[in-house]
Amino acid sequence: MAQTATLLVSCPDRKGIVAALAQVLYGHGANILDADQHTDPIAGQFFQRIRFDESELHTDRHTLERALREVADRFEMSFRLERDDRKKRMAIFVSKTDHCLFDLLWRQRAGELRCEIPLIVSNHEDLRGVAESFGIPFHVVPITPENKVEQETRELELLREHQIELVVLARYMQVLSNDFLQRFEGSVINIHHSFLPAFMGGKPYHRAHERGVKLVGATAHYATPDLDEGPIIEQDVARCTHRDTVADLIRKGRDLEKVVLARAVRWHLEDRILTYANKTVVFE
Encode pLDDT of 106-137 as tens digits.
999 999 999 999 999 999 999 999 999 999 99
Architecture of domain 88-282: 3-Layer(aba) Sandwich (3.40)
Q: What percentage of the chain reaches a pLDDT higher than 70?
A: 99
Instruction: Give the model's pLDDT for residue 276.
Output: 96
User: Per-residue confidence at 29, pLDDT binned at 50, 70, 90?
Assistant: very high
The top-scoring range by mean pLDDT among 47-51, 144-148, 205-209 is 47-51
Domain boundaries, the chain: 4-83, 88-282
Q: Where are the beta strands (DSSP E) in 223-265?
A: 232-239
Encode pLDDT of 212-229 as tens digits.
999 999 999 999 999 899
Q: Cα separation of 265 and 99, whole Å?
A: 15
Query: Which fold does the domain 4-83 belong to in CATH?
Result: Alpha-Beta Plaits (3.30.70)
Encode pLDDT of 192-215 as tens digits.
999 998 889 889 999 999 999 999
User: Known catalytic residues?
Assistant: 228
Mean pLDDT estimate for the chain: 95
Instruction: Give the model's pLDDT for residue 61.
Output: 87
Other C-beta atoms within 10 Å of 174: how many? Answer: 16
Other C-beta atoms within 10 Å of 245: how many? Answer: 11
Q: Are strands 215-222 and 188-192 parallel, antiparallel or unpaired?
A: antiparallel
Encode pLDDT of 86-100 as tens digits.
999 999 999 999 999
Residues comprising the chain, all counted: 284
Stretch 55-70: mean pLDDT: 93
Task: Look at residue 2 and tell me whether its pLDDT is greater than 80.
Answer: no
Comparing C-alpha atoms, which of 259, 203, 196 is closest to residue 231? 196
Instruction: Give the model's pLDDT for residue 202.
Output: 86
Instruction: Give the model's pLDDT for residue 1.
Output: 59
